[in-house]
Chain A
């Protein structure tokens, strides 16, 4: 199988040499998906015919002289991105039959770069979750241990890349939804700065934090894809017009003298001891490469969880008010009147976690609670963002764990709703502050992957990718792959 577990960089070289065709890569990806997906449930739409047709077009474009580095490379999209003519469900019953008449800008940009879309990945419903168990289409299984979660909300994307169904997938990250599943599945995932990548056509969860990014095997691959994803979009008023650097061109810089800040709050009681040891060892690798490790403090880290879980559901409750059963999406049977149509369409169309968050959001936005919760959280958000800004004046980058634990078991009843929210404790700071952050494979605990998180300055993706690449030149955690033998149904 030519494409199995290979990086985009490697596949691009083989495509350029002519030792493999895009059609062969796509046929292989389809075969692997048909073999392993019945167990993994990472892919919820596989578009074989359109993928093969696009692969043939890419092969022809190469014959005609095109040399785009992403030309003919297969890709999977998280099912949160609108794809013209292709079902886009956001893993919800509400949108189970929704067929967008337009593409998300991210989808357009990657298609223009020559990537071949295989289909759509499973996810937590409306991106609300850290385990991928809230999907209307069922939980995704972690390829390293199918009795465990892949993380979420981009759990399908992470599991698909980890299992070699595609060399990369798109993800979105509102509170850690790229980095945490990347960590739990042993792949590399980048959440860019808020505004670096267009949100147009990306189904909205919390608009002041949502950001799209690449999930791939290596930082080098993330750089290649970010080159094509990033940039100004007149269709997203929050999308920055700052010039996009060539992220691949700056991957070979020494990190000697780089100042890496370790927040003591990231190594607190929330963190599993074995994960702490693994991440600490990974940070020693940065030190061995010449980086200087500096102790820093982000005292409001724990407050971030409360802040995030006020702001995100509040924004979600407003964003999801559009699903009313009238213009698109699920409609209940035989509504007696308009109110009945609204109530039953929404109650039947949304899953439990989504309704839980809408309810909390509606409460914190209500006149009686607004100042106590919503306004207060927006103020605390500024304090948290300022803490990050202050620390990032003293150090070049912040390092720590991506998640407090390795992948936990599926259907873990011992975890309360708020226990689950604490899974995001180390990732949500970057979303609240709008900063870029990356998770890179950093080792294993009991056979399960651990991720190291690096958080950078605003629009500092190039530096983050370079540090991650330098780490991956010294380690091989990113090259290890799960044993998929017996993973068929």
Chain B
């Protein structure tokens, strides 16, 4: 069983907050999901290598050439707050 404090710790790592009102329900569902995963323990995986890519192939690389794929202005227009070419965030250094 994973307790509410651990669930809150994981949420903090994922930069999420869980309200006091929701924590009980979230913890119950979290544990239900982990119970679903218990079945994995029944599989004998001795000497089985993990499968990361379903085709088991190396990723293809392309020549390291400089290309302009997207326009900077178009990207900056989606910024919630910006000034000139910079993204604005709350002050980080005092």
Contact = CB atoms under 8 A, between A and B. Distances in A.
Interface of A: 97-102, 193-195, 208-209, 234-235, 237-241, 300, 302-303, 305-307, 309-310, 317, 321, 324-331, 335-344, 346-347, 350, 355-356, 358-364, 366, 373, 375-383, 385, 416-418, 421, 431-434, 458
Nearest to A382: B51
Shortest 5 CB-CB distances between A and B: which pairs?
A101-B74, A434-B54, A378-B50, A331-B80, A328-B78
Contact of A358 (B14, B43, B77, B78): B14
Given A195-B55, A208-B52, A306-B39, A376 B14 contact: no
Contacts of B51: 378-379, 381-382, 385
B66 to A, nearest CB: 14
Contacts of B10: 359, 362-363, 366
Contacts of A307: 40
B33 A360 contact: yes
Nearest to B75: A101
B89 A341 contact: yes
A431 B55 CA distance: 11
A133 B11 CA distance: 23
Contacts of A193: 55
A416 B33 CA distance: 10
B47 to A, nearest CB: 9
Interface residues of B, number: 54
27 contacts: A98-B78, A101-B78, A102-B74, A194-B54, A237-B61, A238-B60, A306-B38, A306-B40, A309-B36, A309-B37, A325-B80, A327-B87, A328-B79, A331-B81, A337-B91, A350-B16, A356-B30, A362-B13, A366-B10, A366-B13, A373-B40, A378-B51, A379-B48, A379-B51, A380-B45, A381-B51, A432-B54
Contacts of A339: 15
B71 to A, nearest CB: 6
B49 A382 contact: yes
Given A237-B59, A346-B16, A359 B11 contact: yes
A310 B81 CA distance: 35
A337 B90 contact: yes
B32 A303 contact: no
B5 interface: no
A303 B39 contact: yes
A164 to B, nearest CB: 34
Contacts of A306: 36-40
Chain A: interface secondary structure?
Answer: helix
B60 A237 contact: yes
B1 interface: no
Given A317-B14, A358-B14, A377 B40 contact: yes
Contacts of A317: 14
A208 B87 contact: no
B77 A356 contact: no
B90 A336 contact: yes
Chain B: interface secondary structure?
Answer: loop
B48 A383 contact: yes
Nearest to B63: A234
Contacts of A434: 53-55
Contacts of A331: 80-81
B45 A418 contact: no
A309 to B, nearest CB: 6
A378 B48 CA distance: 9
Contacts of A431: 54
A326 B62 contact: no
B29 A417 contact: yes
A375 B50 contact: yes
B90 A209 contact: no
Contact of B90 (A101, A234, A340): A340
Contacts of B34: 360
A359 B53 contact: no
A310 B14 contact: no
A137 to B, nearest CB: 19
A108 B45 CA distance: 43
Contacts of A377: 37, 40
B36 A305 contact: yes
Nearest to A384: B51
B92 A338 contact: yes
Contacts of A343: 15-17
